[in-house]
């Protein structure tokens, strides 16, 4: 395929050829919209072609024509790759270029993100300029960049304005196009943006949703308020869990047990991912009052369906396998352990340690944390001691992969404040980034400000 060149020139009266004009519009002192750019990677122009153009311009005394010869923006942008960062790269026929780019949710007409970059490389031959996007949205009001959460999966529109690094408005190339953002489903992602949500229930029984945002450049985690109304009237429940996608619809569900022992399921309603409503609850079980702990988030049977784990008051450990059928989401229970009454907290993390199936962490009364690696058949390997001192934490919570590295992470809460390096405020807990290695499943803990310290339930 011959290279496609998008050009700009200082000579306003210069006419573009019909082939080039069909590819884009060149501005003449102002930005003009161009036809949608091809979504396939365009091969950069050979260096000899750019050099010949420069030599011809020098011989005649004309200004060198600036050309954009390609870009890497494809039909589908996989934001699971490269840690969620996409590098928008534009190749040019000369070194030294500046780019500004805007991302729009398709049909919205309002930019969700705006970025710019400049490459000041000098010399002969072709060049390129790259601006990186971490998949997050920004509220671009009055020039201020305020966090608004990750961009949702689905179609987007983009526009790009490229000029020579030292050029002015009359030397510009404008491109636009469409792409589709995709990420694989996450077990705690209710808003289809690749990032898990944290649910916090206050003493009044209202459940607030906190959306997570990981910023790769700073290695920081944020858990922020969503701007829609909370789920109200949940004070009737005394156990809550998010096991993942029990119904096979690529959306997670919430499991809730009321004080009479009935088990209820809440599924995501279709509609606006920026305001995730729930369908009316459905009763899926009775007599669940025999259990003191109910947790979900791991595929213990390694069949691609999340399972539910419960411990009874005599220390028995029970497995409820997921079926993938929303009308009957749990199979018959199976006893898979005894003497689990020694643990005061159990956390289903998913496949944290690289074993064949989902794993569990359990903390005993002495504060020792133990890892149970799933065998993939509904049982666990002998427990592994992770470390002591975990009774420092009032809660240990797992909501999935927070930093997009493919490994589930842990959130912990402390009674008192903790210092956060280089920030003017104190934190109230720590984040443990997962490593995927069962021999050392966590990186050193990182202090953070985590919502829900005084909440009735966090899940």
Give pLDDT, residue 405.
Answer: 86
Range 202-221 burial, b when 16+ CB lie within 10 A, else e:
beebbbbbbbbbbebeeeeb
Determine contact, residues 413/394, Cβ cutoff 8 Å.
yes
280: which DSSP letter? Answer: P
Give pLDDT, residue 18.
Answer: 32
Give pLDDT, residue 115.
Answer: 93
Structure tokens at 295: 């947790």
| Residue pLDDT, tens place only, 51-70 | 223 333 333 445 568 999 99
Give pLDDT, residue 56.
Answer: 32
CA distance 379 to 374: 6
CA distance 289 to 239: 10
Give pLDDT, residue 33.
Answer: 32
Give pLDDT, residue 287.
Answer: 97
Give pLDDT, residue 222.
Answer: 75
Give pLDDT, residue 323.
Answer: 95
Determine contact, residues 410/349, Cβ cutoff 8 Å.
yes
DSSP per residue, 40-93? SPPPPPPHHHHHHHHHHHHHHTPPPPEEEEEE---SEEETTGGGG-EEEEEEES
Structure tokens at 284: 């899926």
Helix (H, G, I), strand (E, B) or coil at 138: strand
pTM of the entire predicted model:
0.79
DSSP per residue, 162-182? EEETT--TTS-EEEEEEEEEE
What contacts 24+ positions apart, CB below 8 Å, involve 102-110? 102/158, 102/159, 103/133, 103/151, 103/156, 103/157, 103/158, 104/156, 104/157, 104/158, 104/159, 105/151, 105/152, 105/154, 105/155, 105/156, 105/157, 106/154, 106/155, 106/156, 106/157, 106/178, 107/157
Q: Give the mean pLDDT of the chain.
A: 82
Closest CA to 159 of 40, 41, 37: 37
pLDDT 10s per residue in the chain (459 long)? 333 444 443 333 233 233 333 333 333 333 333 333 333 333 333 332 222 233 333 334 455 689 999 999 999 999 988 878 899 999 999 999 999 999 998 988 888 899 999 999 998 899 999 999 988 887 655 444 455 678 889 999 999 999 999 865 568 899 999 999 999 888 899 888 888 999 999 999 999 988 887 776 667 777 766 656 689 999 999 999 999 999 888 889 999 999 999 999 999 988 777 778 899 999 999 999 999 999 999 999 999 999 999 999 999 999 999 999 999 999 999 999 999 999 999 999 999 877 779 999 999 999 999 999 999 999 999 999 999 999 999 999 999 998 888 899 999 999 989 988 877 888 899 999 999 999 999 999 999 888 888 899 999
Closest CA to 125 of 69, 51, 66: 51
């Amino acid at each position: 395929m011959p290279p496609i060149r998008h050009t700009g020139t200082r000579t306003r009266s210069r006419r573009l050829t019909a082939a080039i004009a069909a590819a884009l519009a060149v501005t003449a002192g102002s930005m003009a919209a161009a036809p949608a750019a091809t979504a396939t990677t365009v091969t950069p122009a050979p260096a000899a072609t750019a050099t010949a153009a420069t030599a011809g311009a020098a011989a005649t005394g004309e200004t060198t024509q600036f050309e954009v010869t390609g870009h890497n923006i494809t039909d589908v942008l996989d934001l699971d790759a490269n840690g969620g960062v996409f590098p928008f790269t534009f190749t040019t026929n000369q070194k030294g270029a500046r780019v500004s780019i805007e991302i729009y949710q398709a049909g919205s007409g309002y930019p969700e993100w705006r970025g710019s970059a400049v490459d000041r490389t000098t010399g002969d031959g072709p060049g390129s300029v790259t601006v990186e996007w971490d998949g997050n949205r920004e509220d671009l009001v009055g020039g201020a960049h305020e966090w608004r959460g990750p961009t949702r999966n689905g179609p987007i529109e983009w526009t790009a304005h490229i000029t020579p690094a030292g050029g002015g408005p009359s030397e510009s190339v404008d491109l636009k196009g469409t792409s589709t953002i995709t990420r694989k489903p996450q077990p705690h992602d209710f808003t289809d943006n690749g990032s898990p949500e944290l649910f916090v229930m206050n003493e009044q029984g209202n459940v607030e949703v906190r959306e997570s945002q990981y910023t790769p450049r700073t290695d920081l985690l944020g858990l922020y308020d969503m701007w829609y109304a909370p789920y109200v009237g949940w004070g009737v429940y005394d156990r809550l869990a998010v096991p993942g996608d029990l119904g096979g619809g690529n959306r997670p569900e919430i499991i809730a047990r009321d004080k009479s022992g009935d088990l209820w399921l809440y599924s995501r309603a279709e509609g606006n991912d920026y305001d995730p409503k729930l369908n009316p609850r459905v009763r899926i079980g009775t007599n669940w009052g025999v259990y003191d702990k109910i947790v979900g988030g791991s595929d213990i049977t390694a069949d691609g369906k999340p399972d539910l784990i419960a411990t009874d008051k005599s220390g028995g450990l029970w497995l409820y396998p997921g079926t993938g059928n929303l009308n009957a989401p749990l199979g018959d229970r199976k006893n898979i352990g005894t003497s689990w009454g020694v643990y005061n907290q159990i956390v289903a993390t998913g496949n944290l340690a690289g074993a064949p199936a989902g794993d569990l962490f359990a903390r005993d009364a002495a504060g020792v944390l133990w890892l149970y690696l799933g065998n993939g058949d509904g049982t666990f390997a002998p427990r592994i001691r992770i470390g002591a001192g975990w009774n420092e934490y009032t809660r240990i919570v797992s909501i999935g992969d927070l930093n997009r590295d493919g490994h589930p992470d842990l959130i912990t809460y402390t009674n008192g404040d903790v210092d956060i390096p280089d920030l003017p405020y104190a934190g109230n807990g720590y984040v443990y980034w997962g490593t995927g290695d069962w021999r050392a499943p966590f990186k050193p803990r990182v202090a953070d400000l985590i919502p829900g310290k005084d909440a009735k339930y966090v899940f």
